[in-house]
Amino acid sequence: MKIDPKKPADLSVQIAQSIRDAIISGRLIVDERLPSEAELSDQFQVSRPTVREALKRLAAQSLIRTQRGATGGAFVNRLSYQDAYSQQITTSTLLLSMNAVSFETACEARYSLERACATLSAERRTADHLATMRAEIFRQAQPGLTDEAFCASDVTFHRALVDGAGNPVLSYQLAGAVEAMQPLMNMITFTARSREEIIVLHNQIADALDRRDAAAVDSALVDLEAYTRKLALDVAKQRRKPTE
Amino acid sequence: MKIDPKKPADLSVQIAQSIRDAIISGRLIVDERLPSEAELSDQFQVSRPTVREALKRLAAQSLIRTQRGATGGAFVNRLSYQDAYSQQITTSTLLLSMNAVSFETACEARYSLERACATLSAERRTADHLATMRAEIFRQAQPGLTDEAFCASDVTFHRALVDGAGNPVLSYQLAGAVEAMQPLMNMITFTARSREEIIVLHNQIADALDRRDAAAVDSALVDLEAYTRKLALDVAKQRRKPTE
DNA sequence: GACTTTTAAATGTCAGACAAATGAAATTTT
DNA sequence: AAAATTTCATTTGTCTGACATTTAAAAGTC
């Protein structure tokens, strides 16, 4: 492993890139220990702080983990679905909040993807997935639930629907779309009336999944999307005329 | 901004978390300049190298950018779709390669998502998207094209299809699914015969999009998925009996 | 006024040191 | 001999202080 000492970017960027390439290409395999920081600074002919900055960059992406002590060091990390989920969620959330993505755009993306899962979920969902969904519907019907708690339950419900497809890659992709919507959803005030409507639709979805009726799931999701967009539109209207 | 000097994790992790929270919560807004490294080390009561490690973590996630010079410093970065794409692709690629995701699982996820876009794309695709797809089909028919170049063209084709939906959030979500498949696709040897088949299906997709026939696009995508899985299966068979 | 030079501020890098954690080896105790 | 304890070497985490490099603005020059 060597780097170009003069040409383009900062040294720590180059070193991070070099190690990243080694991991992606498979020259460094999972759980393999990297040379110690002292050895790396020798190899790359840079100081230890520079090596450390490079390692911190990789750690921030969950590509390595570090451990102190005699047998410690930096190890190539197996990127778990959990790690990937949370990175995906952070990125998606920031992307939406920093780029002023409209509610309509985010909502459309989310429900399009979710409907893609629904067909598979109707086929493969287990009793467990259904039980989770029923439990969340029950929770959503509780009086005195805060809007945040209602939203959180909504996310759990939809994740169960997605997980029912039995495809972890799909679940990972959807995690971002569903969870990144949450800050936007939290701006909605859910009245008792609108909660009722949503629960009706949730029940339709659960019932349809129960009898493995993909078309009915899809149709209920379309209705749910339409209703969600209507709610958001009402909020926007209220904001424009706050006195009325 | 303060940190707990004794409790849980490393200082640079705490500092990074503290600044990250400030960005996500909106206390630091886009293009705002952070205090200089010297000022931050004063504020957090840590040394400059520690502050720098924290900043490098944030830079690795594209949350900040740094600039040298008199008016330089660290600035809150607007997470562009481009940045989000590339992070998404890196994460998805690693997730697939490190967790031995089967070709079937990845393929199913990809085509499920892609079909979700196709309906919207049939409605909204512009002449530009169609032109890109036709151009890529033409390229794919060129003799002497390497397998890698064929795959790359395939990715461009499918991205045009996805972009046709006119929803940047969808495009972002799909980027990971489509591009992360490429290393897996590269393991397939595309014979002249199989390229012909794929081009036929690509043409079906382009034609269907041309006349805005969502059902026909969907059907062609289903066929393409089935054919892709068949090709992968053949490769796997060949590997098991290399002498036959 | 336009151009050049200087200067100050900021990040990037380096060197050397100490602190803290940690597992393994060496030692002592039972 | 086995178990518990201590020592010890290794490695990451952090600090201090310094120098190099970049950059834009201020000062100076024609």
Distance from CA of A155 to the nearest CA of B (A): 18
At which of B34, B60, B76 does a domain end? B76
Question: pLDDT value at position A242?
Answer: 58
Neighbour-count burial for B35-46, b at 16+ CB within 10 Å, e otherwise:
eebeebbeebeb
Q: Measured between beta carbons, which residues in chain A are less than 8 angstroms from residue B96?
A: 169
Distance from CA of B238 to the nearest CA of A (A): 24
> Do residues B63 and B134 share a domain?
no
- A5, part of any domain: no
> Do residues B104 and B32 share a domain?
no
Q: pLDDT per residue over B178-197, tens digit each?
A: 888 887 887 777 788 889 99
> Do residues A194 and A137 share a domain?
yes
Q: Are A147 and A184 in contact (CB under 8 A)?
A: no
User: N- to C-terminal Cα distance for chain A?
Assistant: 68
Which residues lie near nucleic chain C, judged by CB under 7 A? A 10-12, 45-50, 53, 67-72; B 34, 36-38, 48-49, 52, 55, 66-70, 72-74
Q: How far is CA A59 from CA A67, A76, B55, B61, in A?
A: 12, 10, 13, 11
At which of A76, A95, A127 does a domain end? A76
Q: How far is the CA of A48 from the C1' of C5 (A)?
A: 37
Domain containing A41: what range? 11-76
| pLDDT at residue A150 is higher than 80 | yes
H helix runs in A26-167, sequence order: 37-44, 48-60, 81-98, 103-124, 127-141, 147-163
Average pLDDT, chain B: 88
pLDDT band at A234 (very low <50, low <70, confident <90, very high): confident
> Do residues B64 and B132 share a domain?
no
Output the CA torsion sign for B213, B216, B221, B227: negative
Q: Are B38 and B49 in contact (CB under 8 A)?
A: no
Q: pLDDT per residue over A18-73, tens digit each?
A: 999 999 888 999 999 999 999 999 999 999 999 999 999 999 999 999 999 888 89
- Stretch B216-224: mean pLDDT: 95
pLDDT band at A6 (very low <50, low <70, confident <90, very high): very low
Distance from CA of A193 to the nearest CA of B (A): 30
- CA of B13: nearest nucleotide by C1' is D13
> Do residues B113 and B230 share a domain?
yes
Q: Are B58 and B20 in contact (CB under 8 A)?
A: yes
Kindly report the CATH number assigned to the domain that includes residue B137: 1.20.120.530
- A1, part of any domain: no
At which of B33, B50, B76 does a domain end? B76
| pLDDT at residue A96 is higher than 90 | no
| pLDDT at residue B41 is higher than 80 | yes
What is the percentage of chain B residues whose pLDDT exceeds 70?
94
**Beta strands, E only, B4-146:** 64-67, 73-76
Q: What is the interface pTM, i.e. ipTM, of the complex?
A: 0.81
- Contact between chains at B95 and A172 (C-beta distance less than 8 A): yes
- B4, part of any domain: no
- Contact between chains at A52 and B53 (C-beta distance less than 8 A): yes
Question: pLDDT value at position A8?
Answer: 62
- B145, part of any domain: yes
Neighbour-count burial for B77-101, b at 16+ CB within 10 Å, e otherwise:
bebebebbbebbbbbbbbbbbbbeb
Question: pLDDT value at position B24?
Answer: 86
Between CA A97 and CA B66, with CA B31 as vertex, the angle to 5 degrees is 115
Q: Measured between beta carbons, which residues in chain B are less than 8 angstroms from residue A26?
A: 97
- A169, part of any domain: yes
> Do residues A27 and A140 share a domain?
no
> Do residues B89 and B202 share a domain?
yes
> Do residues A34 and A17 share a domain?
yes
Report the residue of B98, B103, B187 to disrupt the A interface, i.e. the one with the largest count of A CBs within 10 Å.
B98
Q: Of A104-108, A221-225, B95-99, B220-224, which gets the smallest average pLDDT?
A: B95-99
Question: pLDDT value at position A198?
Answer: 93
- CA of B66: nearest nucleotide by C1' is C11
- B2, part of any domain: no
> Do residues A118 and A50 share a domain?
no
| Strand C nucleotides within a 7 Å radius of protein CB atoms | 7-17, 20-24
> Do residues B23 and B105 share a domain?
no
> Do residues A189 and A135 share a domain?
yes
| pLDDT at residue B19 is higher than 70 | yes
Dist. CA B174–CA B158, nearest whole Å: 10
Distance from CA of A192 to the nearest CA of B (A): 29
Comparing every residue's Cα with the C1' atom of nucleotide C7, the nearest one is B70
**B70 vs B121, more confident:** B121
DSSP, collapsed to helix, strand or coil, labels residue B73 as strand
- B31, part of any domain: yes
> Do residues B99 and B72 share a domain?
no
Question: pLDDT value at position A178?
Answer: 85
Question: pLDDT value at position A53?
Answer: 94
H or E element in which residue A75 lies: strand A73-76
Kindly report the CATH number assigned to the domain that includes residue A19: 1.10.10.10
Domain count, chain A: 2
Question: pLDDT value at position A90?
Answer: 86
Q: Measured between beta carbons, which residues in chain B are less than 8 angstroms from residue A105?
A: 167-169
- B3, part of any domain: no
| Strand D nucleotides within a 7 Å radius of protein CB atoms | 8-18, 21-25
